Amino acid sequence: MSTLAVAIERKQWELVSLCLLVGVVEAAAALPPNAVEGLLEVLAQTGQPVGLAWLEGEDAQPQGGAHRGRRR
């Protein structure tokens, strides 16, 4: 079994999140240079927090009136 599978089975959520983070970093490193920037732009249009600003409690809302909450 993989480290991720064992961590999930044992409910070691910090290790699960670390394994997932490593996977995301490895996948992002394999992308062309502009692909990550494009992904961040798409995420910003969804109204989801982008970058680390949301961890620090800063307003991470994209410009243009998008907001989180229930969909219309």
Model confidence pTM above 0.85: no
From CA 20, how far away is CA 25, in angstroms rounded? 9
pLDDT tens-digit readout, 27-45: 888 888 788 788 778 777 8
- How much is the pLDDT for 67? 46
Domain boundaries, the chain: 3-47
CB within 8 A of 53, min separation 6: which ones?
Answer: 59, 60
From CA 67, how far away is CA 60, in angstroms rounded? 10
Tell me how far CA of residue 11 lies from CA of 3, 4, 18, 19, 40, in angstroms: 12, 10, 13, 13, 30
- How much is the pLDDT for 59? 52
Mean pLDDT of 4-22: 95
- Which is more confidently placed, 14 or 41? 14
CA-only gyration radius of the chain, Å: 16
Share of the chain above pLDDT 90, in %: 32
